[in-house]
Amino acid sequence: MTEKTLRRHLTESALDPNLIFLLEDIASACRVVANRIRNGAFEGNLGSADATNVQGETQKTLDILANDEFERICANSPRLAALVSEEVEEVTWLKEPEAGDYLLYFDPLDGSSNLDVNLSVGSIFAIMQVQSDADRSVLRAGRKQVCAGYALYGPSTTLVLTTGSEVAGFTNESGTGDFRLTHPAMTVPQETSEFAINTSRYRYWDQPVRRYVDECVAGEEGIRERAFNMRWTASMVADIHRILTRGGVFLYPADSENRAAGGKLRLMYEANPMAMIIENAGGAATTGHHPILDIQPTGPHQRVPVIMGSKSEVDRLLRYHKADSQ
């Protein structure tokens, strides 16, 4: 049986037609970005753009191109009021907001440091709605998201999204360009023997994170009584996709080096959308102290600590943080 297309899946979900239009535009942007990445070496688009973004991070040429493609394509959606991008300091307003309009938050190219070594990268996005006419606030807690998703640019281009209940995965079909439903009702496996963290930051970690990682590394001889594998790709999309399909926990915690900035990852267009996906797939997402989706943001580029994945592992880390704070 032929897998149904993204359009059919969305129309069968009885979504607002304007949301469907926007999601199809996002899918088109992801297709274009995937093509720009594959042809980056031929088009001279690999390497640094000799610029920095609002976070002070060095931009790759493809960071800027991916942002431009998202803006160009998604601006066609008639009810899209504003864009909030990792690569742009200010909110980009496309129209005077009206109740029911949509707000798009996105990281156009996550993990771009992997481009020059030909490893997987991705895009992350979230959608919220304007609550009343002339409402220009984009600072809403993650529970207000009406949709969240990501694209993974790997051996195949994969689009994973949730519109409030189940999580569905689509694969881009070579030749037709269609995204076809290949992974319906995705769930995070509850039992896991993997964790994803940048262990080079061990010297900065708080005790609860050190305790957790030390116990995993101890293997069969340790308190966990089984061997764990550590995985880290420097692309949140790639690490979360692996956890969504195989189980595990992803950590970019607050530590002594990044605490003053609030953490490393951005709340609105990295942590929130991934937390919605993970929670709707049966997992959990926290800062170590509070659910990520309950955080009331104070700015569009706010940073937060991130711990998410299999619920049993996240619960263990929550217990360790609670014990340390008593």
**pLDDT of res. 53:** 62
135 is in an annotated binding site: no
Residue 82, SS3? Answer: strand
According to DSSP, the residues that pair with 83 across neighbouring strands are 92, 104
Pairing of strands 249-252, 58-60: unpaired
Q: Model confidence at 41, in pLDDT bands (50, 70, 90)?
A: confident
112 is in an annotated binding site: yes
For residue 139, the tally of other CB atoms under 10 A from its CB is 15
CA atoms of 96 and 161, how far apart (whole Å):
28
111 is in an annotated binding site: yes
For residue 72, the tally of other CB atoms under 10 A from its CB is 12
CA atoms of 296 and 285, how far apart (whole Å):
15
109 is in an annotated binding site: yes
pLDDT at 238 over 90: yes
List, for residues 5-16, the tens digit of each pLDDT value: 999 999 999 899
161 is in an annotated binding site: no
Instruction: Give the closest residue to 53 by CA, choosing from 89, 107, 83, 90.
Output: 89
Start-to-end C-alpha separation, the chain? 56
229 is in an annotated binding site: no
May I ask the CATH class of domain 6-185?
Answer: alpha beta
60 is in an annotated binding site: no
Q: Using the 8-state DSSP alphabet, how is residue 268 labeled?
A: I
**pLDDT of res. 51:** 59
pLDDT at 49 over 60: no
Residue given tokens 């900035």 in the structure block: 261
Lowest mean pLDDT among 15-24, 41-50, 126-135, 235-244: 41-50
288 is in an annotated binding site: no
Structural contact between residues 304 and 292, judged by C-beta atoms closer than 8 angstroms? yes
Lowest mean pLDDT among 43-47, 88-92, 109-113, 212-216: 43-47
- For the chain, the structural domain boundaries read 6-185, 194-325
Task: Just give the CATH number of 194-325.
Answer: 3.40.190.80
Give the chain's mean pLDDT: 94
pLDDT at 326 over 90: no
Q: Using the 8-state DSSP alphabet, how is residue 177 labeled?
A: -
Q: What angle do CA 216, 219, 224 make, to 5 degrees?
A: 65
Q: What is the mean pLDDT of residues 292-300?
A: 98
State CA 54 to chain mean position distance.
18
State CA 268 to chain mean position distance.
10
Structural contact between residues 129 and 100, judged by C-beta atoms closer than 8 angstroms? yes
Bigger pLDDT: 40 or 4?
4
The token duo for 166 is 């189940």
Q: Model confidence at 152, in pLDDT bands (50, 70, 90)?
A: very high
**What value does the CA radius of gyration of the chain take, rounded to a whole number of Å?**
19
CA atoms of 76 and 61, how far apart (whole Å):
24
Q: Model confidence at 73, in pLDDT bands (50, 70, 90)?
A: very high
List, for residues 242-268, the tens digit of each pLDDT value: 999 999 999 999 999 999 999 999 999
264 is in an annotated binding site: yes
pLDDT at 45 over 90: no
Q: What is the model's pTM? A: 0.95
For residue 291, the tally of other CB atoms under 10 A from its CB is 16
Structural contact between residues 188 and 243, judged by C-beta atoms closer than 8 angstroms? yes
Instruction: Give the closest residue to 20 by CA, choosing from 66, 71, 80, 95.
Output: 80
